[in-house]
Amino acid sequence: MSSTKSVAMGTVLSLVALAAGGAVTPPCKVPQSPRNVASSNGTSDQSIVLSISESQEELTYRPRGSTAKPETLYRCGQHYHVPVEDVQGCAGEAVVTTPPATEKPWVPGPGQWIEVHTVYSSAPPQPPCNPESLGCCTGKTNLVLGFSAEVVAAGGSTPILTPPANQFAEWSGSNTGPDKLRPTDCKETAVEWSFRLGCTFRVGQDQLGKHLPGGPQGARALQGGSRVKPDLLLVMPKR
């Protein structure tokens, strides 16, 4: 998930074409991400995330179907993507505002949709490391809390927290971000995903500039076929 300093419209269009065209791609050892979270393989009333601390620095996790003692995972990173990777059908989520012609990290303008990933691992982060990469996430278990949001002006300087939601999409997948060589390449880091569904989330420009100064990362094309595990569930937790 290396940071990108800009997002080229040609790259975006090629990603869309690959996803829409159903390109034949080889299977991978690790199930791949991102996914079309508007289409699920089933439903559940149990989330793999049992609890999240108020600061969102820690959470408790238990694999789906397991009765083992919950595992504590520690926040080890956060970053965001333009355009969104896990599509859910929100109006405007696929529109990309062309970034300024600059080598400096840029902050998306109001109206741009982004996808925020907050990463947790079974080992606490050990600085120095880059919290906008996966370099701080060294545990055996890795999990991403994800959501998509529209960028708004200002927004204050509060931390970017994963918002509450009534419905989640959860699946076993991989890390994401642009493929280094070919779109048929496989990502190697196994990741459990818990993605908050909703089209009303907002993130402020000031929040992005303060807490994620490295700027947005690019997007990876949707994955499918033999490259994904058929375990994407629509989760509606019991109240």
> What's the DSSP call for residue 31?
P
Q: Which residues of 21-55 are buried (b: 16+ CB within 10 A; e: fewer)?
A: eeeebeebebbbbbbbbeebeeebeebbbeebeee
Contact 128, 162 (CB under 8 A): no
Omega before residue 213 within 30° of 0, cis? no
Is the pLDDT confidence value at 12 over 80? no
Contact by Cβ (8 Å): 214, 132? yes
Distance, CA of 25 to CA of 185 (rounded, Å)? 9
pLDDT (0 to 100) of residue 19: 44
Single pTM value for the model? 0.89
Amino acid at 139: G
Q: Between residues 68 and 97, which one has the greater pLDDT?
A: 68
Dihedral sign for Cα 187, 219, 48, 135, please. Answer: positive
CA distances from 161 to 75, 78, 117 (A): 11, 10, 10
Tens digit of each residue's pLDDT (9 = 90 or more) over 96-133 = 876 666 667 889 999 999 999 999 999 999 989 999 99
Averaged pLDDT, 74-87: 97
Strand partners, 146: 117, 195
Residue-wise pLDDT for 185-220, tens only, equals 999 999 999 999 999 999 999 999 999 999 999 999
Average pLDDT over residues 19-39: 79
Other beta carbons within 10 Å of 196: 21
Quick one: which of 41, 75, 79, 33 has its CA closest to 58? 75
Burial grade of 232 (CB within 10 A; 0-12, 13-18, 19 or more): buried
Q: Could you give the domains of the chain?
A: 9-235 (3.10.200)
Structure tokens at 139: 């545990």
